């Protein structure tokens, strides 16, 4: 390539940073016992990006996610990770495995949200994703100091623009975009059993952990087409209610699809009291447990 056609060095450095993050993610997956297929996939993607002579930002900016997917070794899931890094400067999946994931850091990447407001939002809202932040701001139930109607509207506009640029899981005809609840409940039972026995690698979350203790067990598992990552909940709500060791968050995705999540808890009331249920899928859980669903479920 002629010197005049060379991309700016900073843009290629962005490629190097993204490739390094993908390689780091592969290393953490390997250390935490994930299956070799995922490890190899992220390492292959990191090598492909390192060899590019065109900035990823340019490829994505001109052709979107589909242009990223046309690169060798880049499926829809990794393309979603690249888009997130290009859009926010962070990657939640890597932050999670390193224990660095906090809603404050993510919220502060949105235009109009500084560090102080990010902390106030994280304290007031029970959510740690941009989608949950958008939903909470639209409902307007929680009062957040320093967040008036005009500023709220501006932040919602910025969120809508950002979320529109991030890839989402694609529904396919005849395909349920969520794992069966019996699979989720089996994975939840395996995680809690191994965590209780001290058989899982533990990470030191940055949030709600002033001593820096590595207390949070993490499990990677594969069930059929589903890749799962399980951790105890480390949200403000879980700590407030004393349920961090009960609530289990399961992050899941199929090959080449963006990641989604659900939470498994011990039900405290109704016909499923005392049983493990997937929030939002109580009727399916009732069928698995052989119990009648509560009125209004399903």
DSSP one-letter string for 52-71: -SS-HHHHHHHHHHHHHHTS
**Nearest 5°: phi and psi at 62?**
-95, -25
- Strand locations in 168-259 (E): 202-203, 216-223, 226-232, 248-254
CA distance 63 to 89: 19
**What one-character DSSP code corresponds to residue 110?**
S
Decide if 207 contacts 294 (C-beta within 8 A): no
Q: Closest by alpha carbon to 261, among 215, 230, 220?
A: 230
What are the pLDDT digits (tens) for 1-43?
A: 444 444 444 444 689 999 999 999 999 999 998 888 889 999 9
On whether the 103-165 domain is CATH 1.10.150, my answer is yes
Average pLDDT of span 258-286? 93
What is the location of CATH 1.10.150.110 in the chain?
Answer: 3-91
User: What pLDDT is stored for residue 9 in this prediction?
Assistant: 41
What CATH fold (topology level) applies to the domain 3-91?
Answer: DNA polymerase; domain 1 (1.10.150)
Tell me what percent of the residues of the chain surpass a pLDDT of 70.
89
Decide if 129 contacts 51 (C-beta within 8 A): no
Burial of 212 (0-12, 13-18, 19+ CB in 10 A): exposed
Considering the entire predicted model, what is its pTM?
0.77
């Amino acid at each position: 390539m002629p010197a005049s056609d060379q991309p700016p060095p900073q843009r290629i450095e962005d490629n190097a940073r993204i490739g390094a993050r993908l390689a780091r993610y592969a290393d953490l997956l390997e250390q935490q016992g994930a299956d070799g297929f995922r490890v190899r996939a992220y390492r292959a993607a990191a090598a492909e990006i390192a060899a590019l002579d065109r900035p990823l930002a340019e490829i994505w900016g001109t052709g979107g996610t589909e242009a990223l997917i046309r690169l060798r070794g880049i499926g829809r899931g990794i393309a979603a990770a690249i888009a997130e890094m290009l859009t926010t400067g962070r990657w939640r999946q890597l932050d999670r495995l390193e224990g660095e994931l906090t809603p404050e850091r993510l919220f502060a990447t949105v235009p109009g949200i500084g560090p102080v407001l990010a902390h106030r939002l994280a304290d007031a809202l029970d959510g740690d994703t941009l989608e949950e932040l958008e939903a909470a701001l639209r409902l307007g139930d929680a009062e957040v100091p320093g967040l008036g109607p005009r500023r709220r509207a501006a932040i919602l506009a910025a969120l809508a623009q950002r979320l529109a640029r991030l890839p989402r899981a694609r529904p396919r005809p005849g395909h349920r975009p969520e794992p069966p609840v019996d699979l989720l409940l089996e994975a939840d039972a395996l995680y809690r059993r191994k965590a209780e026995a001290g058989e899982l690698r533990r990470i030191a979350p940055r949030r709600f952990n002033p001593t820096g203790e590595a207390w949070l067990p993490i499990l990677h598992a594969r069930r059929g087409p589903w890749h799962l990552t399980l951790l105890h909940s480390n949200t403000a709500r879980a700590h407030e209610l004393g349920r961090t060791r009960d609530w289990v968050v399961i992050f899941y995705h199929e090959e080449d699809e963006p990641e989604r999540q659900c939470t498994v808890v011990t039900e405290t009331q109704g016909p499923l009291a005392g049983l493990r249920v997937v929030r939002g899928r109580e009727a399916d859980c009732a069928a698995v447990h052989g119990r009648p669903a509560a009125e209004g479920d399903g």
